[in-house]
Structures are given as C-alpha cells and as structure tokens.
Amino acid sequence: MSNKMWGGRFSERPDAIMEEINVSIDVDRHLYAQDIAASKAHAAMLAAQGIITAGDAKNIGKGLDTILSEIDKGSFDFKRALEDIHMNVESRLSELIGPAAGRLHTARSRNDQVATDFRLYVRDTIDEVDAALAAFQKALVERALEHASTVMPGFTHLQTAQPVTFGHHLLAYVEMSARDRGRFADARKRLNESPLGAAALAGTSFPIDRAATAKALGFDRPMANSLDAVSDRDFVLETLSAAAITAVHLSRFAEEIVVWTSPLVGLVRLSDKFTTGSSIMPQKRNPDAAELVRAKTGRVIGALTALLIVMKGLPLAYQKDMQEDKQGAMEAFAALSLAIRAMTGMVRDLVPDEARMQAAAGEGYATATDLADWLVRTLRMPFREAHHVTGRIVALASERGIALHELPLQAMQEVEPKITADVLKVLSVESSVKSRTSYGGTAPRNVLSQAKAWAKRLEKERKWG
C-alpha cells in the first residue's frame, strides 16, 4: 500500500532504504507538544474563518488533546512508516475522530508546520537556557560576595601578572553570561514571528487569519513572506551561534578549573561531588565534569557548523535537506544546558585554597607594576623609565632568589637613589589589589559593590520574570 498521506499517485511502497533515509520521527517526535499546539491553533482559526465547521474543529481539538496525553504518558505508538511527527499525529487523529481529521490540513503544509513547530521549540529552549544562565550567574555572584577580597594571582599568558581578587575573577563570568543571555534574547526577538499559513511556499487561497494563529501561539506577528517563512532556518543558526559563544565561555572557565585543581597549581579544590577517582591510581581526583564541559563545546560548535553547511547551497523554498536541522541543534541545546548546570554545581562546590592563592599571588614579582607606578607617582618619573628601573630591581631580587618586598631598601636605592621606605607599602599583594580602584578594577571595594549590584539585579529579575 502506498502512503496514505501523500500516496495518491503512487502505486508502490517506498524501498526500505528510501524509508530509512527519509524518516525523521526519532528526532522530530520531540516537537510533539509544539506540533499539537500549532494544530489546535490552526483548527480553531479555520473554524473562526468558516473554513471548517465548529463541530469538526471541536472534535479535532479534543482528539489532539487525547494524543498529547497519550504521548505524555508514553502510550503513543510512533510509526516509522509515517515518517514524521506531523503525519504520526494526523494519522492517530483520524483513528480517533474519523474523516474530520482530514480537514485539519486545509490551508497548511508540512513545510509551514515544521517551521512553526521548530520555532516554538527553539523559543522554549531559549527560555530554558536563559533560566539556567541566570542560576549560573546567581551562583557566581554568591561566591564573589564571599570572596570579594580573597587575593589570587591574575594571569596573562598563564604567567603570573598582577594580583586580583577571586571575586573579581568570578564576576568576569557573570558579565560574559549577561552578554550570552543578551544574544539569546536578541535571537528570540527575531525568531518570534509565525510561519504558519505560509502553506507549502506560496500562501493559500483560503481566507485564513494568520494574525490569529500567530497570536494564539505567542508569536509577535505572522512572517511577511511565505517563501521566506518556510525556507529559512536562520533562527536556528542564530540560536546555535549564541549557544556556541556561551559554550566557549563555559569551556574557558572549565579549563581554568582543570588548571586550578591540578596538584601542580592547587588554587582550588572540588569536593567529591564533582570529582571522580581513577580505577588504577587511588590518589587521583579528576575534574571530569569540567573536562566534559570543555569537550561538549565541540558538539555545540559542530552543530552550528553542520547547519551552516546544510543551508548554504539551498535555493528557495523548502528543501528536504532542512530536515537535518533538528538533530544537531537538539543535541547541542541539551549539551549546553547540561554544561551550564554542571558549571553552576562546580561554582557552588569549589573551595579556594586562600593561603595558596595569597602566596601564589605574590610569586613571580606580581607587584612589579605597583613599584613602577610608585616611581611615576612619587618621583614623577615617566612610566617608560619607571618600567626600566623596576626591571633592574626585579632582576636584582631574582638573582638573590627573593621576593620584591624582601629586597633591602638599600639594594633598590643602588638602582634609583631617590627611592624611599615609603615604597615598601605598595609591594604587598593586598595593597596592590586595594589600589586598583579604577572603574571595573579589582579593588575589593569595587568587587563588593559590583557583586552587590549584580545580586540586586538578579533578584529583581527573578521577581518580574
């Protein structure tokens, strides 16, 4: 028997291989809630416009509700021979309510149907990711409040650069996450238009009300061009781009956790909850969760790249290639969501070794810039000259194998006679961070007020959100 949805002109069944390459139900079954919601909105609109009877619309609505609960309960029998979610739902609807089911597809095509379903799905995903990122930010802010004045080494080139505070470091990720959330919000704004009613590609001759279905599904408006509506997947690409950038941010942080928890570095410890052991080396505490966050980034970037490549050669309008838009995106969103939750857990869990951080912050002549700044400020030396003088003083300390503040004043005066004992007070790591009071700088006072402002902002958002 040929396919009962589209097989009118067919006399043979598809080859098994045809069916295998064509079938998408294993992936698009995840769109069932959106598919049913869109069908209900469509049926109600068809009745309101007098295109189908109120009685048929009522039966269609009831039947769709039954199908929704069957799928929710896990009792729905998904059939591969029916290809995709749209035909599985419609076929079950006809079992439930008979021939009226066949009226649901009036003035609609699977092309506008799938575009609508997937927009709704991606919109839901954006809302979930946003909530997860907000929780991540909240965890970071809580730890930043706690560690606004905990001194740690700041790095450039992964070499000790200048002392910073741990809270300052954590707040850097709060800022990044805020921009990530902004990118998702932008994508959401642009995707929130309804393709429904574009039909196959050209629109329809039935007097449909696209604004009504758009409104019923929470879209801001119908899409203005039917060809565009069924054939672009830029909303997926844009959301995946936001996801990829977010994943890269998380990956950088994950990498830092891997470095910090290495026994060679030892700035941070994760509890048993976020580490794993080795089956052969009993001493091991591996930061697997952080490593996997780092690795999952590959999946997200991969999904973006794959879909860009799928789309790049497609003429308008719908092409079956576009069926490949869902699997990678769904996997990427799931990976991202898990990565955000894992990072949130680690942020709550990690324990900085404050003594080690403090000691490491002073290693590697991290306050050399403070010495140079003192020369500029107190002796009115041009910064370039101060840089040179400081370099010579660092070399002296390095030759003796001691820290800057351990170098006798006399030794410094051999390099620059005008240096006074006053310099000693800028050489400690505490005074270094304390002095960084420029806007956005690492001074504990700054960090505390930034952390408090973030806590307030996130709290307010939770109240209104």
What residue ranges bind ligand ARG (CB under 6 A)? Answer: 24, 28, 84, 110-111, 114, 318, 320, 322-323
Q: How far is the CB of 337 from ligand ARG (least distance, A)?
A: 22
Residues 57 and 101: their CA atoms lie apart, in Å, by 9
Give every CB contact of residue 225 below 8 A, 6+ residues apart in sequence: none
5 vs 258, which CB is nearer to ligand ARG? 5
Asked if residue 167 lies in contact with residue 147, where contact means CB atoms within 8 angstroms, the answer is yes
Residues 52 and 106: their CA atoms lie apart, in Å, by 9
Q: How far is the CB of 111 from ligand ARG (least distance, A)?
A: 5
Q: Is 42 a catalytic residue?
A: no
Q: Is 157 a catalytic residue?
A: yes
Residue in 157, 205, 279, 438 annotated catalytic: 157
Q: How far is the CB of 114 from ligand ARG (least distance, A)?
A: 4
122 vs 394, which CB is nearer to ligand ARG? 122
Place of tokens 């890269």: 248
- Which long-range CB contacts under 8 A does 381-386 form with residues at least 24 apart? none
Give every CB contact of residue 291 below 8 A, 6+ residues apart in sequence: 254, 258
At 37, list the tokens. 């919601």
Residue 152 bridge partners (DSSP)? 164
Q: How far is the CB of 292 from ligand ARG (least distance, A)?
A: 30
Q: How far is the CB of 128 from ligand ARG (least distance, A)?
A: 22
Residues 17 and 227: their CA atoms lie apart, in Å, by 30
At 134, list the tokens. 């907000």
Residue 113: helix, strand or coil by DSSP? helix
Q: How far is the CB of 29 from ligand ARG (least distance, A)?
A: 11
84 vs 180, which CB is nearer to ligand ARG? 84
Residue 60: helix, strand or coil by DSSP? helix
47 vs 307, which CB is nearer to ligand ARG? 307
118 vs 166, which CB is nearer to ligand ARG? 118
108 vs 188, which CB is nearer to ligand ARG? 108
Place of tokens 């992964």: 158
Residue in 69, 262, 278, 449 annotated catalytic: 278
Q: Which amino acid is at 35?
A: D
Residue 352 bridge partners (DSSP)? 268
As annotated, the active-site residues are 157, 278
